[in-house]
Amino acid sequence: MGTTEKRVTHAERVFSYLQKQGRPLSAYEILEGLRCDGVTASTTVYRALEKLRSAGRIHRIESLNAFTVCCGEHGGHMPVFTICDDCGAVTEYLDTNAGNSIAELSKRTGFAARHSILEIHGRCSDCDTGAPQQ
């Protein structure tokens, strides 16, 4: 009997590529990076990204129009992203207080929050030279 190879899905290719790059990427950056692997249509990338996002494996960084690998199980904590405006570093943290504040706001206003991600732009400690932020 011959060996059978497991077929790698487009979603797995996209996820692996995002992991290797180690930074948020736009769908078109992913497409360009995967062309040599046979991924040639933007719709293929967008479908893979939606599948990964629905499975909780990636996040969309709205303000950057980019996607990044999720740090892992959130366990009821809200993802908070710090985004350095100087070097572009993006770090995911998990926070309960922000989630509780949103839940309280929802209760108080009657707004039913479905999905919450907090993005904070500023300057990371590596880039912070003591100069005032703009």
What CATH number is given for 78-122 in this structure? 3.30.1490.190
What DSSP string describes the chain? ----PPPPPHHHHHHHHHHHH-S-B-HHHHHHHHGGGT---HHHHHHHHHHHHHTTSEEEEGGGTEEEE--S--TTPEEEEEEETTT--EEEEEESHHHHHHHHHHHHH--------EEEEE--TTT--SPPP-
What's the pLDDT tens digit per position in 70-111? 988 777 788 899 999 999 999 999 887 888 888 888 899 999
pLDDT band at 66 (very low <50, low <70, confident <90, very high): very high
pLDDT at 2 over 60: no
pLDDT in the model for residue 30:
97
Give the CATH fold of the 10-69 domain: Arc Repressor Mutant, subunit A (1.10.10)
Mean pLDDT of 107-116: 86
pLDDT in the model for residue 113:
81
In Å, what is the CA distance from 18 to each residue of 12, 67, 117?
Answer: 10, 8, 19
Rounded distance between C-alpha atoms, residue 97 and residue 9, angstroms: 37
**10-69 shares its CATH topology with 78-122:** no
Give 74's contacts (C-beta < 8 A, 6+ positions apart): 56, 94
pLDDT in the model for residue 115:
77
Pairing of strands 118-122, 78-84: parallel
- The full set of domain ranges for the chain reads 10-69, 78-122
The answer to whether 53 touches 91, Cβ cutoff 8 Å, is no
What's the pLDDT tens digit per position in 14-56? 999 999 998 999 999 999 999 998 889 999 999 999 999 999 9
Rounded distance between C-alpha atoms, residue 81 and residue 61, angstroms: 8
